[in-house]
Amino acid sequence: MIETMKTRRTIRKYSDRPVPEALMDELLGIAMKASNTGNMQLYSVVETRSEEGKRALAPAHFNQPMITEAPVVLTFCADANRFVKWAANRKAEAGFWNFQSFMAATIDSMLFAEAFVEAAEEKGLGICYLGTTTYNADQIIEALHLPQLVVPIVTVTVGYPAEPLPAESERLPLDAIRHREHYTDYTPASIDAFYKEKEELEVNREFVRINKKETLAQVFTDIRYTKEACEHFSEVFLKVLKGQGFLE
């Protein structure tokens, strides 16, 4: 598994080979062994295989082709609903209608998702995380009929990779993210050193050229993740948290 993790790739193109139900059962069962808050398992996953279901989800993910082309789409959710109902049925009252409980359920769902991904890749499957899940969470809630205290957190497309495999994604050096004993703030010199390799990659130089920008950072801030978009989707998600019962 360590060797698999060292060479992992994000897979956006899949073969037409189906993913067996028995394999999904095995992988999700393994993923449920992941650590979670108080062993409450404040998470759920919605598995979408039908063409109709994938088409319903696609607009929420800006119609990225992986959604409709992947054999399986998994929507991992923060879910306090199940636990609250269990408590109510056992003469207990769970006070989970708050932001702290949402955060606990979010952490649980991400640990569950990552454990699934590691197991799936070890079995030869390819995956792609979709960060768009919280952008249009309201649309996903509608498409998947999610009740209160259930919020979609991350979507993972799953399937056998199509050839050829993509190149490995670059990462910052370890020293860029590891702080020893306490947080050491970044200086202009350390920023230059940590981002040098990333900025000099030809693929990233091409991003700068085709977007007619001066720096790679501007591609991220002016094109891909603008202030206006971040503020808009923040507003949408806060409304979702209120509607689903995690915020007053």
> How confident is the prediction for the chain on average, in pLDDT?
96
**CA-to-CA distance for 8 and 33, rounded, in angstroms?**
22
116: nearest Cα among 176, 174, 220, 43:
43
Contact partners, residue 215, CB within 8 Å, separation at least 6: 199, 208
Run of H or E residues at 44: strand 43-48
238 within a domain of the structure (yes/no)? no
CATH of the domain at 138: 3.40.109.10
pLDDT of residue 126: 96
- The pTM (predicted TM-score) of the whole model is 0.94
Q: Tokens 């993913």 appear where?
A: 19
**CA-to-CA distance for 33 and 160, rounded, in angstroms?**
24
Q: What is the pLDDT of residues 138-161, one digit of tens each?
A: 999 999 999 999 999 999 999 999
Q: Tokens 């860029």 appear where?
A: 176
247 within a domain of the structure (yes/no)? no
Range with the poorest average pLDDT among 1-10, 13-22, 215-224, 229-238: 1-10
pLDDT of residue 13: 95
152 within a domain of the structure (yes/no)? yes
Q: 245 exposed, middle or buried (CB, 10 Å; 0-12, 13-18, 19+)?
A: buried
How many domains does the chain divide into? 1
Residue 29 confidence class, pLDDT cut points 50, 70, 90: very high
Provide the 8-state DSSP code for 212.
T
233 within a domain of the structure (yes/no)? no
Residue 110 confidence class, pLDDT cut points 50, 70, 90: very high
135 within a domain of the structure (yes/no)? yes
112 within a domain of the structure (yes/no)? yes
pLDDT of residue 146: 98
100: nearest Cα among 31, 32, 38:
38
Q: What is the pLDDT of residues 40-90, one digit of tens each?
A: 999 999 999 999 999 999 999 999 999 999 999 999 999 999 999 999 999
220 within a domain of the structure (yes/no)? no
**CA-to-CA distance for 71 and 233, rounded, in angstroms?**
28
Range of the domain at 129: 2-166
242 within a domain of the structure (yes/no)? no
Q: Is pLDDT at 166 greater than 90 in this prediction?
A: no
DSSP structure string for 124-163: T-EEEEEGGGGTTHHHHHHHHT--TTEEEEEEEEEEPBPS
